Amino acid sequence: MKPKVTIEDIARLAGVSKATVSRVLNERSNVKAETRERVLRVMQEQGFVPSLAAAGLAGGRSRLVGVLTPPFTQPTVPEILRGVAEAIEHTDYEIVLYSTNAGQSPTTIVNRILALGLTSCLLVIQPGPLTPRLLQLASQGLPVVVIDDQGPPPELPSVGIDNRVSAYQATMHLIRLGYRRIAHLQGPAEFRCAQERYQGYRQALDDAGLPFDPALVFNGTFETASGRACAVALATLPLAERPEAIFIANDQMAFGFLSAAEALGLRIPQDLAVVGFDDIPLSAHVRPTLTTIKQPFYEMGRNAVELLLSLLHGPAMQPVAGAEDGYQPPIRIQLPTRLVIRESCGALTLHRRQEQEHSLSDE
């Protein structure tokens, strides 16, 4: 078994004092940038877990769950945290909440969390470049659960959804309404969820026997501005080349699309039907109200806490990729999504028209 790396080892390998390592862990400002970078690099290479955290885990004294989130301005984060908070309410644990912001190193934040020796486990939302560090910590016995759909599936216990199946459902809904020329505004190509939603869109077209037109796929950023840009691009197409409907890979972009469409004189859903993805709260209040795929953000938070505490109180952590013996795949919980039908897809208008026609035929 590999010997445990200590703070003394980090100091020796980085060529600094123990006090300097401690200042780096606590993000003190009186450390030169190049020294800080060297110490952090050595910690990363050695898979260092600060001894205070390890002592807390060994003694089982901590009743705090560390939660690391993206900025709270992301519209999906508050609902996830609501699920986390309500799940924790029914336990003997409390939450220690950390948020990453621009300019902060997630790895440094995690090292600082562990150096405080307070938390017994970690829940990380959208870990991004932090994933390798979390793998190291999990392999050393720290319970870690992630909620992540951006990077490749991590070799860590996780909670999420099936993006491909959900996007397939959204596109098939438009097809069943009679639309045949369907566009797609996709998210950033480097995000796994964007890739999978595009794949679901393509699969639905293939299964319905509809031709795929690459000119109807637009690149977006998951931000409102790229939705507006997409609407402008569609409005400039000749009428014969315009789509009848569009599946937009998240609600934020859909909001931008709806806003620009109105300014450009495009009527939704009469001229163009729209389906989004996420069902964040504003989706029910924009005009027209947005048909979208509802992600179970609240349930993700609850399930992530339940999984994390089961790992904390259950048997030893599952081995992660790279373990020499006894490897088992990490637990992955996939929660169901559902289609929320509102005004933007035209289904409600169609339903009302059919009801009116049925009523007239009965007279």
Query: How many residues are listed for the chain in this entry?
Result: 363
* Cα first-last separation, the chain: 84
Residue 65 CA, distance from chain mean position: 20
Residue 118 identity (one-letter amino acid): L
* The two domains 64-161+297-314+327-335 and 163-295+339-362 share their CATH topology (first three levels equal): yes
pLDDT for the residue 210: 97
Residue owning tokens 């977006």:
220
pLDDT < 70 positions in the chain = 1-3, 26-27, 49-62, 102-103, 315-327, 350-363
Residue owning tokens 């014969």:
240
List pLDDT tens digits, range 219-229.
999 999 999 99
Residue owning tokens 């999978």:
196
Whether CATH 3.30.70.260 fits 7-50: no
Q: Tell me which of 2.130.10.10, 3.30.300.30, 3.40.50.2300, 3.40.50.620 is the CATH number of domain 64-161+297-314+327-335.
A: 3.40.50.2300
* Rounded (10°) angle between helices 33-46 and 18-25: 90
Classify domain 163-295+339-362 at the CATH topology level. Rossmann fold (3.40.50)
Strand partners, 247: 184, 275
Domain spans, the chain? 7-50, 64-161+297-314+327-335, 163-295+339-362
Q: Measured between alpha carbons, how far is 195 from 214 in angstroms, rounded to an integer?
A: 15
Is the backbone peptide bond immediately before 288 cis, with ω within 30 degrees of 0?
A: yes
Question: Which residues in 192-203 are b (16+ Cβ under 10 Å) and which e?
Answer: bbbbbbbebbbb
Residue 276 identity (one-letter amino acid): G
Q: Measured between alpha carbons, how far is 236 from 357 in angstroms, rounded to an integer?
A: 36
Q: Measured between alpha carbons, how far is 247 from 225 in angstroms, rounded to an integer?
A: 16
* Residues 344, 290 contacting (CB under 8 angstroms): yes
pLDDT for the residue 160: 96
Tell me the percentage of the chain whose pLDDT exceeds 90: 58
Q: Give me the helices (H) in 220-329, please.
A: 224-235, 251-264, 297-313
List pLDDT tens digits, range 157-189.
999 999 999 999 999 999 999 999 999 999 999
